[in-house]
Amino acid sequence: MIRTWPRAIAVLGILLALAAGCGKRSENNPAAKGKNIRVEGSDTMVNLAQAWAEKYHKAHPDVSVQVLGGGTGVGIASLIDGNCDMANTSRSMKETEIKRAKANRGADPKEIIVGFDALAIYVHKDNPLDSITIEQLAEIYGEGGKTTKWGDLGVKDPKWAGQPITRVSRQSSSGTYTYFREVILGPGRDYKLGSIDQSGSKDVVALVSKTPSAIGYSGMGYHTDAVKTLKVTKKTGEPAVEPTVETARDKSYPITRPLQIYVIGEPAGTLQEYLAWILSPKGQKVVLDLGYVPIKPHE
């Protein structure tokens, strides 16, 4: 019985030595210190941030990018507290947040737009409709909306006018689903029941391309030749705008929001290199691959 006691001490000793070795390593290894970039923020952008981190690490194995979601608010709070180096946000920082950041970190937060999130409205390629207004979309998708047939949207062609509209939507955990509800349906209004909900941006476009009576929303990056993109008008009478990289960038296309990154002060060193890479064609290709709008035309 007494023999077990020294053994237990030996085991504990080995574990302590392991931990000490591990701790020591982090101090000696330059890769573990200084070359870390801590990213926090928007859940909408967390997949994008992750894809950047993965791709960047392949090209620069000495830099480790640590990505955390949690929401725009979390990212901004962490940036103010000094718990992260860059915050992904899907809204601009408020005046009070900027003041607190300056007081806490000693420099103004700097906003960098790294891409746009533009939602295109897709219909089947044979559909005669060319443009749609935000109110019409709300009447199609929103709870209590009265638009159910293509004829209600002004389609005269007798072959189409009587056809019911097949609504294609997203699953409720999707950020696109939430964004579309906020911008199109307005605060507090829910979706009409009976839509076909797809679990991916790509799936929406695929279904619309096979269903002549369908309408769906998805990132403009998912456009294919089998579908038609509708021009969108803010209000009846205003010009209809086609979602393109340019109209998304100058915000004339109404269903667009910028994807932003905030840093404190002028970025330097590893952080500056990383941000430059994000804005470079390689980083922007990741933006396009994930269905967002890159900031500059690059083809």
Partner 1 sequence: MNKAVDNQALLSSLAVAKSNPFAPTPLEERKRIKEAIAKWLLAIITLMLVLPVIAILGYLVFKAWPILGPSFLLENPQDNMTAGGIWAPLVGTFFLVVISLLIAAPIGVLAGVYLNEYAGDNWATRVVNLAVMNLAGVPSIVHALFGVGAFVLFAGMGRSLLAASCTLAVMTLPVIITSTREALSSVPMSFREACWNMGATRWQTIRTIVLPNSISGILTGVILQVSRAAGETAPILFTGAVFFRDVPEHGWEAFFPYGLHDRVMALSYHLFTLVTQVRGVSDEIQYGTAVVLIGLVLFVNALSIALRSYLRSRKKW
**Distance between CA atoms of 241 and 230, rounded to whole angstroms?**
9
Q: Closest separation between CB of residue 296 and partner 1, Å? A: 22
From the CB of residue 22, how many other CB atoms can be counted at a distance below 10 Å? 9
Burial 271-290 (b: 16+ CB within 10 A, else e): beebbebbbeeebbebbbeb
DSSP state of 291: T
- Using H for helix, E for strand and C for coil, what is the string for 167-213? EEEECCCCHHHHHHHHHHHCCCCCECCCCEEECCHHHHHHHHHHCCC
Q: Give whichever of 38 and 192 is closer to partner 1, judged by the CB atom.
A: 38
Q: Give whichever of 48 and 208 is closer to partner 1, judged by the CB atom.
A: 48
Q: Closest separation between CB of residue 229 and partner 1, Å? A: 22
Q: At what angle do helices 46-59 and 281-289 cross, to 10 degrees?
A: 140
Residues near partner 1 (CB under 8 A): 1-2, 4-5, 8, 12, 15-16, 18-19, 21-23, 25-27, 29, 32-33, 36, 38, 43, 46-47, 49-51, 53-54, 57, 64-69, 78, 81, 83, 173, 200, 290
Q: Give whichever of 14 and 240 is closer to partner 1, judged by the CB atom.
A: 14
Q: Closest separation between CB of residue 101 and partner 1, Å? A: 16
Q: Are the C-beta atoms of 145 and 191 separated by less than 8 Å?
A: no
Q: Closest separation between CB of residue 117 and partner 1, Å? A: 14
DSSP state of 284: H
Q: Give whichever of 56 and 160 is closer to partner 1, judged by the CB atom.
A: 56
Q: Give whichever of 266 and 289 is closer to partner 1, judged by the CB atom.
A: 289
Task: Name the nearest CA neighbour of 259 among 88, 78, 86, 40.
Answer: 88
Q: Closest separation between CB of residue 213 and partner 1, Å? A: 27
Q: Give whichever of 51 and 183 is closer to partner 1, judged by the CB atom.
A: 51
Q: Closest separation between CB of residue 166 and partner 1, Å? A: 24
For residue 153, give every residue at least 6 positions away whose Cβ sits within 8 Å of its Cβ, in sequence order, or none.
129, 132, 136, 147, 165
**Distance between CA atoms of 151 and 159, rounded to whole angstroms?**
10
Q: Closest separation between CB of residue 202 and partner 1, Å? A: 8
**Residue 180 C-beta-side C-alpha neighbours within 13 Å:** 25
Q: Give whichever of 127 and 218 is closer to partner 1, judged by the CB atom.
A: 218
